[in-house]
Chain A
Amino acid sequence: MANELKYEWSLALRAEHWVRVIAIAALVFTGFYIHWPFISGSAESAVMSWMKFFHSVAAYALVLGLVVRVYLAFNSAFDRDWKDFSITKNLKDLPDMLAYYLFVNDTHKDYRKYNPLQAFAYLLIAVLIIFTTFTGAALYKGNAFGFINAQESFRWVNAMLGGESYTRIWHFLSMWVFIIFLGAHMYMGLIWSVVHKDKTFSSIFTGYKLKKKF
C-alpha cells in the first residue's frame, strides 16, 4: 500500500483560508487595541481611527470569505463538500475519532476529507464568524456595506443579549474562541505532519497531501 500525492485544496479554498487567516490576525490585533488602547498616539496620528478602519475592513474580508466558502461547499467545480459537515453523520463517528485522539485505539476509520472533530470545529468557526459579525454589527455605528444602517438594523442583537455592554463582552469572548481554535488548529496540523508525514501542514500552501492509495 503506497502513498500518493493528492490534490486536496483547490486554489479557491486555499485563497479563502489565507484571507481568513490574515483577517483573523488583523481582527485580533486591532480588536485588542480597541479593547485596551496600548499604543498612545499624537495629535496627528489617528491611531484609533486606523485600528477601527482595519478592524472593519478585516471584518468584511472574514464575512465575505465565509460567504465564498459556503458557496464553494455547495457549488464548487472542484469539490462540493457540504455533506462532510453533516451533524448526524459526524456525531455517529465521533466516538471512533475520540478514542483515537485519547489513545484508546491505535487506528481510526477512514474519513473523506475532515474527520468528525475537524468537521465540528470548522462548523463551529462558521457559526462563530456569524456570531461575531452580528455582535460586531450591533456595535457598529456606520453603514455596513455602505447601505445597511448598522445601528438601526442590528438593535435587536443588543436587545437579545441584554444591552450594548453585554454585546461587547460576547464579542470580546468570541475572539478568545478564535484564538483557542487557532492554537489547536495549528498544533493539529503540525503534529499530523510530524507523526504521519503526510504533508498536512504544507498542503495548505501547495494544495497537495499524501493519501493512502487503495
Chain B
Amino acid sequence: MGDREEISKQFLGTFEFQGIKRRDFLKFCGATAALLGLSESFIPKIAAAIEKASKRPPVVWLNFASDSGCTEALIKATYPNAADLVLDILSVDYNETIMAAAGKQAEEILQNSKKAGDYILIVEGGVPTKKGHGMIAGKEMLDILKEFSGPAVAILAVGSCATFGGVPAAKPNPSQIIGVTEALKKVGVKKAVVNLDLCPVNVEYLVAVVVNYLLLGKLPELDSFGRPKMFYGQTIHENCERRANFDAGRFVETFGSNEEALGYCLYKMGCKGPMTYSACPKVMYNDRISWCVKSGGPCIGCAEHGWPDKFAGFYERLPDVKLPGIQATADKIGAVAGVATAVGIAAHAIATKSSGRGKGEKEGGNK
C-alpha cells in the first residue's frame, strides 16, 4: 500500500505515545475509508490528510442548549481510540465543557480563533431565540453563533439539539429553541450546515466528515435535511441486525423476555427504525461495541427531523396524533368512526322499516 513512506515516523510516534499502535491507526483509516465509501487505495491518503491536519486546522466547538451529551460521547471512550485522537490533533481550540481555561482566558482563545479564521465550527446544542433564555459571558447564544459562523470554513451541527432543536425544542419549548440551520437563516447567514443528527452524535460520523473535508476540501453530499447522504441514506430498519426476524414475523412482546435476548424484532415495542434514516446498525457506538437495538432497546428515531415530538411515545407503534384541541391515538379515531358508522347504518335501517319504505313500491316510486 505504500503507507510506510507516506506516514511519517514522528506522527506515528505521537500515536504510539498515547497507546495507539500504527496498526490500529491504519485500521481506523481503513474504517473511515469504508464509511466514506472510498476504496482501499485511499487509506494512505487519509492517513496523510490526518497527519497534515495535525498542524491545523483548528476547531471551535460551541456549546448551546444541550446536555453536553455529544461532548460526553466524544470523550467517554473506554480507552483513547484513534477517532478521539484525530479530534485531539485537530486542535480543538475552544470547547467550554472540556477546556482547562476559563473566564477571560477562555474568551481570549475564542477571540484569537476568530481573528485567525479558517476554523471548523462545530455546534452542539439548540439555539434559544427568546431574549435572555440562553447567554454565555453576557452574550446571546444566537449572537455568538452569528459572530462565529462568519469566519468558519465549515459548519457542523452535531447532535439532535443543534440540528433541528431536539429535546430542548420539544413542546412547549418556552425558550423557543431552534436548530443551527434555522438560526443561521434567522440571522441572515447564508452558509451550508452539515447536520449530524443523532442523540448523541456518532463520533465516527463526525470524524469521517472532518476527514472527508481534509481529504477532498469539500463537504459531503447532503440530503434535503442537510445530513450527509452516506450516513443518512437508508433507514435503520433496512440494515438492522434484527431485520431477519421482522421478515419472519418474530417479534418481542415484552421487555426482558427471552425473545428480546434471542434478537427478535422490536417493532411491536415501538421501534421507529422503519422511519429513521441513519447508519447506526453498521457504524454502531463506542468503538462499534453496540447500539440501541442490539442492546434490546427499540429505536426512538433520534436521527430524524421533528424528534422527539413527532416520535413520542417511544414504546408505542404509532405516535400520538395531535389534532387541534384533541389528542387521540389513530386506533381510537378508527374505533370511534367505526362505531359511528354502525350506529348510522342501524338507525337508517330502523327508519326504513318504520317509514314503510320496505313494504314494496308505490306506483311512481323511484327505481
Say if A and B assemble together.
Answer: yes
What residues make up the interface of A, taking CB atoms closer than 8 Å to B? 1, 35-37, 39-49, 101, 103, 106-108, 110, 139, 141, 155, 159, 162-166, 168-169, 172-173, 176, 179-180, 183-184, 187, 191-192, 194-198, 200, 211-212
**Which 7 residue pairs across A and B have the least CB separation, nearest first?**
A41-B249, A47-B249, A164-B275, A49-B247, A176-B334, A180-B341, A41-B248
- Asked, given contacts A41-B248, A183-B345, A212-B367, whether A195 binds B310 with beta carbons under 8 Å apart, the answer is no
Q: What 0/1 readout, one digit per residue, does chain B (237-265) give for beta carbons within 8 Å of chain A?
A: 01000000011111100000000000000
CB-based contact A192/B301 at 8 Å: no
Residues on B with beta carbons closer than 8 Å to the beta carbon of A46: 247-249
Residues on B with beta carbons closer than 8 Å to the beta carbon of A212: 366-367
Task: Give A40 to B262 CA distance when docked, in angstroms.
Answer: 15
Query: CB of B319 within 8 A of chain A?
Result: yes
Q: How far is the CB of B108 from chain A (nearest CB, A)?
A: 43
Residues on A with beta carbons closer than 8 Å to the beta carbon of B187: none
- Asked, given contacts A169-B318, A183-B341, A184-B345, whether A48 binds B330 with beta carbons under 8 Å apart, the answer is no
CB-based contact B365/A107 at 8 Å: yes
CB-based contact A141/B250 at 8 Å: no
Q: Of B99-107, B193-201, B352-360, which stretch is located at the interface? A: B352-360
CB-based contact B355/A169 at 8 Å: no
Which one, B224, B268, B301, B345, contacts A37 given CB within 8 A? B268
CB-based contact B272/A165 at 8 Å: yes
Q: How far is the CB of A137 from chain B (nearest CB, A)?
A: 14
Query: CB of B364 within 8 A of chain A?
Result: yes
Please name the residue on chain B nearest to A101 by beta carbon: B348
Across chains A and B, the number of contacting residue pairs, with CB separation under 8 Å, is: 117
Q: How far is the CB of B195 from chain A (nearest CB, A)?
A: 15
Task: Give A203 to B311 CA distance when docked, in angstroms.
Answer: 48
Task: Give A179 to B366 CA distance when docked, in angstroms.
Answer: 29
Task: Give A41 to B245 CA distance when docked, in angstroms.
Answer: 9
Task: Give A180 to B340 CA distance when docked, in angstroms.
Answer: 9
Can you pick out 18 interface pairs between chain A and chain B where the beta carbons lie within 8 Å of each other? A1-B363, A37-B268, A40-B250, A46-B248, A46-B249, A48-B247, A103-B351, A163-B275, A163-B305, A165-B272, A165-B319, A168-B275, A169-B321, A173-B333, A184-B345, A187-B349, A195-B357, A212-B366
Please name the residue on chain A nearest to B251 by beta carbon: A37
CB-based contact B275/A165 at 8 Å: yes
Residues on A with beta carbons closer than 8 Å to the beta carbon of B355: 103
Which one, A42, A103, A183, contacts B248 given CB within 8 A? A42
Q: How far is the CB of A34 from chain B (nearest CB, A)?
A: 9
Task: Give A44 to B352 CA distance when docked, in angstroms.
Answer: 53
Task: Give A145 to B330 CA distance when docked, in angstroms.
Answer: 30
Query: CB of B304 within 8 A of chain A?
Result: yes
Q: What 0/1 readout, one digit per residue, does chain B (220-244) give for beta carbons within 8 Å of chain A?
A: 0000100000000001001000000
Which one, B248, B311, B342, B364, contacts A43 given CB within 8 A? B248
Which one, B246, B268, B311, B358, contacts A165 given CB within 8 A? B311
Task: Give A37 to B357 CA distance when docked, in angstroms.
Answer: 45
Task: Give A45 to B244 CA distance when docked, in angstroms.
Answer: 11
Residues on A with beta carbons closer than 8 Å to the beta carbon of B249: 37, 39-41, 45-48
Residues on B with beta carbons closer than 8 Å to the beta carbon of A164: 275, 304
Query: CB of B38 within 8 A of chain A?
Result: no
Query: CB of B306 within 8 A of chain A?
Result: yes
Please name the residue on chain A nearest to B345 by beta carbon: A187
Please name the residue on chain B nearest to A103 by beta carbon: B355
Task: Give A47 to B305 CA distance when docked, in angstroms.
Answer: 32
Residues on A with beta carbons closer than 8 Å to the beta carbon of B224: 155, 159
Residues on B with beta carbons closer than 8 Å to the beta carbon of A108: 366
Which one, A36, A47, A195, contacts B317 given CB within 8 A? A36
Residues on A with beta carbons closer than 8 Å to the beta carbon of B250: 40-43
Q: How far is the CB of B276 from chain A (nearest CB, A)?
A: 8
CB-based contact A184/B248 at 8 Å: no
Q: How far is the CB of B169 from chain A (nearest CB, A)?
A: 14
Which one, A41, A107, A184, A197, contacts B341 given CB within 8 A? A184
Task: Give A49 to B342 CA distance when docked, in angstroms.
Answer: 33
CB-based contact A162/B306 at 8 Å: yes
Task: Give A64 to B344 CA distance when docked, in angstroms.
Answer: 32
- Asked, given contacts A48-B248, A179-B338, A195-B358, whether A163 binds B306 with beta carbons under 8 Å apart, the answer is yes
Q: A141-B235, A164-B275, A165-B301 are known; give 4 further A-B pairs, CB within 8 A.
A: A1-B363, A103-B351, A163-B275, A195-B357
Q: How far is the CB of B27 from chain A (nearest CB, A)?
A: 32
- Asked, given contacts A107-B364, A184-B341, whether A165 binds B310 with beta carbons under 8 Å apart, the answer is yes
